[in-house]
Homo-oligomer: A and B are copies of this chain.
Amino acid sequence: MSQTERVGVSLDKKLLSMFDELIAGQGYSNRSEAIRDLIRDRLSEQRLAKPATRAVAGVFLVYDHHSTELSAKLIDLQHSHLLQVIASTHVHLDHHNCLEVIILKGKVGEIEKVANNMACLKGVKLSRVNIMTTGEHLT
């Protein structure tokens, strides 16, 4: 599908053996793949620093599902941002707590706004946003 090129990299032997050990421990079967992942990661990071970059994100919310009001507000928020919300998954953690993972797509800046709105809702105990580029620029 796409063309590959082989480039040579000079590495100190000791550095190379430490890197090989690290990536074997992580489960890589292949040094090229590990280096490609480092490169893609760096490229993705750089893009995410710009608010207009298109991205996907997961908003993680841990909350007490006994606060029924919250569930309703969360659904409201999701529907008022239909363009961004793709899917959401609900997981029961224990008798009180649940985790909701809401997947959003949109510009970095917009996603952060929606995520902030959700994190602020009363009843939400913990929240995290995980943002990634969509991969469309990566091969």
* Residues of A participating in the B interface, judged by any CB pair closer than 8 Å: 1-16, 18-19, 22-23, 26-44, 46, 56, 58, 60, 62-64, 66, 86-87, 89, 91, 93-94, 96-97, 99, 101, 103, 105, 116-117, 119-120, 122, 124-128, 130, 132-139
Chain copies in complex: 4
Which B residues are CB-close (under 8 A) to A9?
6-9, 31-32, 35-36
Given A2-B12, A4-B10, 16 new contacts (CB under 8 A): A1-B66, A4-B13, A6-B8, A8-B32, A9-B32, A12-B139, A19-B42, A19-B43, A34-B120, A56-B60, A56-B99, A62-B135, A96-B135, A96-B136, A97-B135, A126-B133
